[in-house]
């Protein structure tokens, strides 16, 4: 069995390290400019339908559905090329890579994201994040339901979770308790949506942007105290959110 690390930092991707709202805006503008407003709106309708079905965003899956409706329009095929070649590295928030490097001096850094099995890994790879965390990348459908697997891959006495969704931070806090320090960067539409921020457990640390992560030292992330300061009760393996 792998010896547990003292501290593991789990970084979300979309609107935490990468400005995903800007990526979506660029896609909307690209579709409207090159295929028309109707094409843009129809693609996004299919995108939302698929998100509701799957529980995560699937850009290429939505494109497959749109392509079926526009089967005799060969220009549609070039949308996939635009998505695959998108310059994700240009959408990293200022200070995003520095935040990962800042955390690396104290513990393992891991990408912990939700998404599909094609476009999301492409985003992590092309942005440079995959290399930055030395291939430690986990992508699930609902990551808050996969904490047992996170622990299996990267066992630790304590975790730090950095995520723009209070829903995720709240769910993980309820399961891991004092074993996790939650960090909330107030970036992106989820972080600023009152419907997403009401009735949630307050995060341990709130920052206005990911670059502010550098202003915190190890004591901030360990402020709940190491595992040795209290007797932790075993967690049931079947517990889920």
**CATH code: domain of residue 56:** 1.10.286.50
pLDDT surpasses 80 at 34? yes
Same domain, 157 and 188: yes
Order of all β-strands in the sheet with 205-207: 137-140, 108-114, 5-11, 156-162, 180-185, 205-207
Q: Is the pLDDT of residue 107 over 70?
A: yes
Residues 130, 11, single domain; the answer is: yes
pLDDT averaged over the chain? 89
CA dihedral (218, 223, 228, 231) positive or negative: negative
Q: Is residue 200 part of a domain?
A: yes
| Average pLDDT estimate for 39-62 | 94
Write the CA distances from 211 to 1, 48, 166, 185, integer angstroms. 35, 31, 19, 9
Give the total number of structural domains in the chain: 2
Q: Of the candidates 169, 168, 97, which has an alpha carbon nearest to the alpha carbon of residue 133?
A: 97
- List pLDDT tens digits, range 125-174: 999 999 999 999 999 999 999 999 999 999 999 999 999 999 999 999 99
Closest CA to 124 of 209, 17, 8, 213: 17
pLDDT at 230 over 50: no
What percent of the chain is predicted at pLDDT more than 70? Answer: 91
Do 156 and 125 sit in the same domain of this protein? yes
Percent of the chain's residues with pLDDT above 90:
82
Residues 9 and 125 both lie in one domain: yes
Q: Of 119, 100, 95, nearest to 111 (Cα)? A: 100
CA 186, 191, 194, 196: dihedral to nearest 10 degrees? -140
Residues 190 and 100 in one domain: yes
End-of-domain residue from the set 70, 88, 106: 88
Residues 25 and 120 in one domain: no
Range of the domain at 61: 20-88
């Amino acid at each position: 069995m792998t010896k547990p690390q003292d501290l593991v930092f789990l970084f979300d991707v979309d609107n935490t390290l990468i400005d995903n709202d800007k990526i979506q805006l660029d896609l909307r503008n690209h579709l409207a400019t090159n295929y028309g407003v109707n094409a843009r709106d129809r693609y996004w309708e299919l995108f939302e339908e698929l998100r509701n079905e799957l529980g995560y965003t699937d850009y290429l899956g939505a494109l497959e559905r749109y392509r079926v409706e526009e089967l005799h329009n060969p220009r549609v095929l070039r949308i996939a090329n635009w998505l695959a070649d998108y310059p994700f590295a240009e959408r990293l928030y200022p200070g995003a890579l520095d935040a990962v490097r800042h955390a690396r001096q104290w513990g393992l850094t891991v990408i912990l994201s939700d998404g599909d099995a094609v476009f999301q890994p492409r985003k992590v790879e092309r942005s440079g994040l995959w290399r930055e965390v030395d291939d430690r990348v986990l992508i699930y459908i609902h990551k808050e339901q996969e904490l047992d697997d996170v622990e299996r891959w990267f066992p630790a006495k304590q975790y730090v979770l950095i995520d723009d969704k209070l829903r995720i931070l709240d769910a993980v806090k309820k399961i891991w308790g004092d074993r996790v320090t939650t960090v909330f960067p107030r970036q992106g539409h989820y972080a600023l949506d009152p419907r997403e921020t009401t009735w949630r457990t307050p995060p341990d640390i709130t920052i206005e942007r990911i670059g502010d992560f550098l202003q915190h030292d190890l004591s901030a992330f360990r402020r709940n105290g190491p595992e040795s300061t209290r007797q932790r009760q075993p967690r049931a393996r079947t517990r889920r959110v």
